Structure 1
Amino acid sequence: MNSRQLVAHLNKLAPPRYAESWDNTGVSFGNLDREISKIMIALEPSEVVINQAVECGADVLITHHPMIFKPVGSLSYDSLIGRKITKLAQNNIVTFSMHTNMDIAVMSHKSADILGLVDTRILEVTGTEIIGGKEENIGFGSIGRVEECISLLECVQLVKEKFNIDNLRVIGDMNKSVESIAILPGSGKSFINNVIKEGVDVLVTGDIDYHSASDARDLGVHIIDAGHFETEYFFVEYMESYLKELLEKVGCEEISIQIAVEESPFTVV
Structure 2
Amino acid sequence: LFFQPLNAFCTDRYPANIAQILLQKHCCVISLHTNFDKSHLNTYLTHKVLQWEHFVAQGLFMYGSIAPISLPNLAQYVCKSLQTDYMQYIQGDVESIKEHSISDVYIVCGSGCSLLSCIPPSPSTCFITSDVKHHDAMIAKSMGISLIDMGHYESEKYFVEIFDSILQNTGYNVIIADCENPFSLCLNKSRD
TM-score normalised according to structure 1 size: 0.58
Tell me, yes or no, if structure 1 residue 257 matches structure 2 residue 191. no
Q: Which amino acid aligns with 1:194?
A: C
Counterpart residue number, 2:157:
233
Q: Distance in 2 between matches of 1:111 and 1:198?
A: 24
Q: Distance in 2 between matches of 1:153 and 1:74?
A: 45
Query: Which residue of 168, 190, 202 maps to 2:87?
Result: 168
Q: Contact 2:65 / 2:105 at 8 angstroms: preserved in 1?
A: yes
Tell me, yes or no, if structure 1 residue 69 matches structure 2 residue 13. no
Q: Contact 2:123 / 2:144 at 8 angstroms: preserved in 1?
A: no
Change (3 A) 1:74 1:174: farther
Q: Distance in 1 between matches of 2:12 and 2:175?
A: 31
Change (3 A) 1:169 1:120: same
Q: Contact 1:118 / 1:144 at 8 angstroms: preserved in 2?
A: no
Query: Larger strand proportion, structure 1 or 2?
Result: 1
Q: Distance in 2 between matches of 1:178 and 1:265?
A: 30
SS in 1 for 2:29: strand
SS in 2 for 1:166: coil
**How far is the alpha carbon of 1:140 from its aligned partner?**
0.5
Q: Contact 1:186 / 1:231 at 8 angstroms: preserved in 2?
A: yes
- What is the 5 A alignment of 1:117-266? 117-123=52-58, 139-146=59-66, 148-172=67-91, 176-197=100-121, 201-247=125-171, 252=172, 255-265=173-183
Tell me, yes or no, if structure 1 residue 96 matches structure 2 residue 20. no
Q: Contact 2:122 / 2:144 at 8 angstroms: preserved in 1?
A: no
Tell me, yes or no, if structure 1 residue 87 matches structure 2 residue 21. yes
SS in 2 for 1:224: strand
Counterpart residue number, 2:94:
none
Q: Distance in 2 between matches of 1:230 and 1:115?
A: 12
Q: Contact 2:131 / 2:152 at 8 angstroms: preserved in 1?
A: yes
Structure 1 unaligned blocks of 5 or more: 1-66, 124-138
Structure 2 unaligned blocks of 5 or more: 92-96, 188-192
**How far is the alpha carbon of 1:90 from its aligned partner?**
2.4
Q: Distance in 1 between matches of 2:41 and 2:170?
A: 19
Q: Contact 1:206 / 1:225 at 8 angstroms: preserved in 2?
A: yes
Q: Contact 2:123 / 2:145 at 8 angstroms: preserved in 1?
A: no
Taking only the aligned residue pairs, the percentage that are identical comes to 25
Q: Contact 1:152 / 1:175 at 8 angstroms: preserved in 2?
A: no
SS in 2 for 1:110: helix
Q: Contact 1:205 / 1:227 at 8 angstroms: preserved in 2?
A: yes
Q: Deviations over 1:223-265 (max 9, x none)?
A: 1111111111111221122222222xxxx5xx24333241143
Q: Count how many residue pairs are aligned between Structure 1 and Structure 2.
A: 181
Counterpart residue number, 1:21:
none
**How far is the alpha carbon of 1:219 from its aligned partner?**
2.5
Q: Contact 1:187 / 1:206 at 8 angstroms: preserved in 2?
A: yes
**How far is the alpha carbon of 1:197 from its aligned partner?**
4.8
Q: Deviations over 1:113-151 (max 9, x none)?
A: 13222543334xxxxxxxxxxxxxxx31111122x3322
